[in-house]
Amino acid sequence: MSETVKYTDFIRNIIDKDLAEGKNEGRVHTRFPPEPNGYLHVGHAKSICLNFGIAEDYQAQNALCNLRFDDTNPEKESEEFAKAIQEDVKWLGFEWHGEVCNASDYFEDLYGFARQLIEKGLAYVDESPAEEIAKNRGNFQTPGTESPYRNRPATESLDLFERMRAGEFADGQMVLRGKIDMSHPNMLMRDPVLYRIKRMHHIKTGDKWCIYPMYDFTHCISDALEAITHSLCTLEFEVNRPLYDWVLDNLDIPARPYQYEFSRLNLAYTITSKRKLTQLVEEKLVDGWDDPRMPTISGMRRRGYTPASIRNFCKAVGISKVNSVTDMTLLEDNVRQDLDSTVERRMAVLDPIKVIITNYPEDKEEMLAGKNHPKNDEMGTRTLPFSRELYIDRADYRESANKKYKRLVKDGEVRLRNAYVIRANDVSLDESGEIKELYCTYDPDTLGKNPEGRKVRGVIHWVSAKHAKPASIRMYDRLFKVDNPGAMDNFLDALNENSYSELTAMVEASLAETEPETRFQFEREGYFTADRYDYSKDKLVFNRTVTLRNSWVD
């Protein structure tokens, strides 16, 4: 009996140590805290798998994971994004603890904690212009300059803060700042802004508030209010940790979460900057957030990636403290591996030419059987109509070829998958010299067995012309043609002009009886999925998920 190997990493090692020492009263509680200002991307998938995966791994300790929206910037947030995020998390196979949380649920608490800092002399209202505040912070070589409002009495700051909330002042007229250290080597600790005035309609609180807390003030308090034990962030938030600790250490709040950082997922030939992804959408360079070329979870879903393949990919990337770039082939190989064992096979002729079997009776039809999966008999079989006229792929016939070519050549033979051996005898051409029709004969004694006295090495796919259905096939490739488009002066210059094309194929009639998001291997062509939105039984639309093998050339 094989022993189950426990998946581990440095964060799980920290949790194990905390549990062994009785820290957090033996509790494990994580959270996934996206901003509802865009769709989730493959980088978020890593964080989802980590946070929710820990809750699953530590079920014996009743571990929990919250979904919390960091909704403190109403200017860019929407219900559309919030709903899409929830759907993505569920599609990946995870469930959050209780109801969805929102930072806005704690706005009253956050306001009270801000007052507490003012009363302790650790925060003040600053009326300096934003440009002056930024300028007076100094730089890494020069300490900052204290604001002239830094030492105003707490009672005065409390009064102004209350009036900020009441809407007495214009947007940007004043802010609340933490009173820490204007010469601190960490720039974020130089009296950071905690609250600003911003009159924007909020997706949850409407127009109740005209002041909104900043991320660094909100995030740590939200963690504490939810009794989070391990607050997991990507490495760029390492610089924020001293401020995270300062806020919690100076408030009268019972729970004390701790922040730990791990490397973000950087994927070659991809961008995960939300600003740049938004630009692609707004400039209509892609067909929305769920365009199958986008690195968004909804885009990968529409393309035909499976939840299991994305989870396995994230596990393969691993959790570390070292930033690196992951090769796109690792993601694609995980998709191939999952689809190879789980999806049924079908035949689809992407570039069809007609074959007429001259010695096959015109009025005859046969119903042949084809396995739905060559290695899994439990997936059953399907019926393949066979008739005098067929379609094969244009690339599967040549007038002449060397011995390495294992398909159909003039006066040569090839086997049709699940059917007979045919011989090519003649062709007819159209006005441009392209093959219009191919005339063949078949050997009626070769159904399910090899011909006597000769060896046929090649096997090609086909569909019956009489029974086949036309289908729109969307061929997707990598959106960018360089491995690090984000490093370019203009990332749009790296767009791959060949990332999308569409063709009309002839496919098995059974493909008109499937459902949206059903995945198949089109034999010898790749993996394809019925489009989530555009597929119907009257309009067959399939997206290429991934090729059968890596064919990308740098």
Tracing tokens 């704690």 back to the chain, one arrives at: 106
Find the radius of gyration of the CA atoms of the chain.
Answer: 31
The residue annotated as part of the active site, out of 27, 31, 35, 332, is: 35
The residue annotated as part of the active site, out of 23, 150, 152, 264, is: 264
Active site annotation includes 90: no
Is residue 32 within a helix (H) or strand (E), and if so which, with residue range?
A: strand 29-32
Is residue 51 within a helix (H) or strand (E), and if so which, with residue range?
A: helix 42-57
* Cα pseudo-dihedral 155, 159, 164, 167, rounded to 10: 180
* Cα pseudo-dihedral 35, 37, 43, 48, rounded to 10: 40
Q: Could you give the CA distance from residue 47 to residue 30 in angstroms, rounded to a whole number?
A: 11
DSSP for 331-395, written as a single string:
HHHHHHHHHHHHSEEE-EESSEEEEEETTS-TT--EEEEEES-TT-GGG-EEEEEE-SEEEEEGG
Residue 19, Cβ density class (10 Å: 0-12 exposed, 13-18 middle, ≥19 buried): middle
Q: Could you give the CA distance from residue 514 to residue 469 in angstroms, rounded to a whole number?
A: 13
The residue annotated as part of the active site, out of 31, 274, 303, 407, is: 274
Length of the chain measured in residues: 554
Please name the residues in contact with 46: beta carbons below 8 A apart, sequence gap of 6 or more.
Answer: 264, 265, 314, 317
Q: Could you give the CA distance from residue 278 to residue 287 in angstroms, rounded to a whole number?
A: 12
DSSP 8-state secondary structure symbol assigned to residue 100: P
Question: Own/partner pairs for 448-457, CB < 8 Å, 24+ apart?
Answer: 451/413, 451/421, 454/413, 456/413, 456/414, 456/415, 456/421, 457/406
Q: What token pair was written down for 165?
A: 């909330």
Active site annotation includes 83: no
Contact indicator for 162, 185 with CB cutoff of 8 Å: no
Active site annotation includes 274: yes
Q: List residues with catalytic annotation.
A: 35, 264, 274
